[in-house]
Chains A and B, each alone.
Chain A
């Protein structure tokens, strides 16, 4: 189930699907979380974002699906601009799935109800259609037998896999992962990373905030090192392992590796 062996053939990246240009975001209190931030992501690309605490990684992801409003600059995803038009916002939220560090499953619903909810309310599917998608997604994350369980009866790793399935149920074109494995016990990190790797190999466009450099090396097409709301350095995982250019990058890597 996890780690299926799709061969390691080179995948071809497509057109640019996310365009972030000159985005600024300042929080009340004057903290500059994103500082003239620009970045482009291609279809099927997996971008790994690393950086010290408070460098604006979460803010970046949250600005991409409108959980946080940007002060200036522009975000365009799949040719839809993220602006004040609520229809654009809704469309972008449907195209962008997000997975949080703290899972955020709905505790009063079973696993299958969690995954069905947005399919029914937003995609307007019938219960039967939604359930079909839900079961196939649960197969994919390796826990079809848990469909009727409540989140409180699942381990952290299982909860996070359900959260991934829940996001995938909207058939998003882009998936955002914000430290999806940071809240997990070490023995559960593998199962969640496994699901994420499969997703990457199937060609999902992903932006992944993580310090799991093994993951970056295996499926990351590009690694970005952020500090104080800016990109300090970008390149392949190998580049970061072998010869990072800046001292700040080196000292950060020495802490996480």
Chain B
């Protein structure tokens, strides 16, 4: 293939100059005209603070929020992949009942506003189902060390049930999109693969398990990685049900300090760190898989 050379044309230069001009102008207006005092120097303390008692640096609001976002994202990814795989398999099942169930699930989720779903799930799962299951009592009955592990992995005992309903909400929500990715991946495998394995006497489950899914997974991986990144971003909407993740913490901090622009810039940066590392990881994985073929 011929290497394409990057050529700079007069038009490019004009556009570039205009952009620089606009940038300088905006910066100038902000400098002299904007009624906003910058407080960048206050920002680091919201990430980490010095703990007088122990004499150590410990995580503060935003980093604590970032950890909760991370917990939500990691468990959410696992649960959503589970829902998506099970429902995706139902989508291509020969059973009409299973197809209807999974279709209903996908259409319901994809056609409702996420915010409405959050409230619905939160009040249904969080207020009704989880108390009914006795999760709170169960956790309070555990030993100190078990509770410590649980709060590291999920949330402190008093927030456990709301964390859990937020987690379920995010996973059910993203699971619907993963369902469609899984369905499309399975259906993209040539009919000949089904026929050849059927002619050899494999059962439907064996065909799926040994012939279709391994091939589908390779095709599913790129869109799946994209969906995981969406999950990280979408996890911010659970801030409306007081889960103390990154966006919620930022809202609180903003209400207390009014350092609006700095705080949200920081938060955007923190989300970018999460999502970009996820993209890089996915890219690496794809290259590795492509090489192993």
Taking Cβ atoms with an 8 Å cutoff, the residues of A that contact B are 65, 67, 90, 93-94, 96-98, 100, 102, 104-108, 117-118, 121-122, 150, 152, 163, 166-167, 170
Contact = CB atoms under 8 A, between A and B. Distances in A.
Given A102-B192, A104-B192, A121-B206, A67 B215 contact: no
B193 A152 contact: no
Contact of B293 (A98, A150, A166, A170): A150
Contact of A67 (B193, B195, B214, B218): B195
Given A100-B192, A150-B293, 19 more contacts: A67-B199, A90-B201, A90-B203, A94-B201, A97-B199, A104-B193, A106-B193, A106-B196, A106-B197, A106-B211, A108-B214, A117-B197, A117-B211, A118-B200, A118-B201, A121-B206, A152-B293, A170-B200, A170-B201
B98 interface: no
B145 to A, nearest CB: 44
Contacts of A98: 196, 199
Given A90-B201, A98-B199, A107 B215 contact: yes
Contacts of A93: 198-201
14 contacts: A93-B198, A93-B199, A93-B201, A94-B201, A97-B199, A98-B199, A100-B196, A104-B196, A106-B196, A106-B197, A118-B202, A121-B206, A150-B293, A170-B200
Interface residues of B, number: 19
Contact of B198 (A67, A108, A152, A163): A67
A102 B199 CA distance: 14
Contacts, number: 57
B50 interface: no
B210 interface: yes
Given A108-B214, A108-B218, A121-B206, A100 B200 contact: no
B266 to A, nearest CB: 45
Dominant secondary structure at the B interface: helix
Contacts of B211: 106, 117
A134 B199 CA distance: 18
A122 B287 CA distance: 35
B201 to A, nearest CB: 4
A102 B200 CA distance: 16
B192 A166 contact: no
A117 B206 CA distance: 10
Contacts of A150: 293
What 9 pairs between A and B have smallest CB-CB spacing? A104-B196, A118-B200, A104-B192, A93-B201, A98-B199, A122-B201, A94-B201, A108-B214, A121-B206
Interface in B177-198: 190, 192-193, 195-198
Contacts of A118: 197, 200-202
Contacts of B203: 90
Contacts of B214: 108
A127 B196 CA distance: 21
A90 B203 CA distance: 8
Contacts of A117: 197, 200, 202, 210-211
A110 to B, nearest CB: 12
Contacts of A166: 200
A45 B202 CA distance: 27
Nearest to A86: B203
A90 B193 CA distance: 18
B261 to A, nearest CB: 51
A187 to B, nearest CB: 24
Contacts of B202: 117-118, 121-122
Contacts of B200: 93, 117-118, 122, 166-167, 170
B198 A104 contact: no
A122 to B, nearest CB: 4
A108 B215 contact: yes
Interface string B212-231: 00110010000000000000
A221 B204 CA distance: 36
Interface in B17-70: none
A90 B199 CA distance: 9
Nearest to B207: A121
A97 B190 CA distance: 20
Contacts of A107: 215
A212 to B, nearest CB: 22
Contacts of B193: 104, 106
